[in-house]
Amino acid sequence: MIEVKQSSISTGEFTRGVFATQDIKKGELFHVAPVVPYPNRQHRKIKKTVLEDYVFEYGKNHSAIVLGYGMLFNHSYDPNADYYINFDDHTFSYFAFKDIKAGEEIFINYNGEVDNNDPLWFN
């Protein structure tokens, strides 16, 4: 249903993105990614690595490294996908916020909400 390919919007060393291999209907779940949570007090160590740009907030006191394709979705302020966190089984579930056509790149809003237009931390 999804695959990693070169993205035309990515720059730098890693120019990857996640793309639909078939049409995905609005509301359809298309990926569940397990996470490795860690206490926020350990984040100072992660900040010294490339992983800093790939972690997610995970509740009030934790951050998480998202496995699977979860780390590879690119950002858009007009995303076609969203995710929710399932703390009970430590996963992020990604679903289509809009219809996504086969071959289209899948985007999430890095601010965690599809309509949050706050500046990103790395800009």
- pLDDT tens for 64-109 read 999 999 999 999 999 999 999 999 999 999 999 999 999 999 999 9
Q: For 16-55, how does the pLDDT look when each residue is reduced to its tens digit (9 = 90+)? A: 999 999 999 999 999 999 999 999 999 999 999 989 888 9
Fold (topology level) of 2-108? Beta-clip-like (2.170.270)
Model confidence, pTM: 0.91
Mean pLDDT of the chain: 94
Going from the C-alpha of 37 to that of each of 10, 41, 66, the distances in angstroms are: 26, 12, 8
Determine contact, residues 108/81, Cβ cutoff 8 Å: yes
Q: Domain spans of the chain?
A: 2-108
DSSP string, 73-91: PEE-SS-SEEEEEETTTTE
Q: Give how far Cα 20 sits from Cα of 29, 63, 71, 91, 121, Å.
A: 12, 27, 16, 20, 27
The pair of structure tokens assigned to 57 is 């907030």
Contact of 58 with 66, CB cutoff 8 Å: no
Residue with tokens 């071959």: 103
Q: Which position has the token pair 């086969």? A: 102
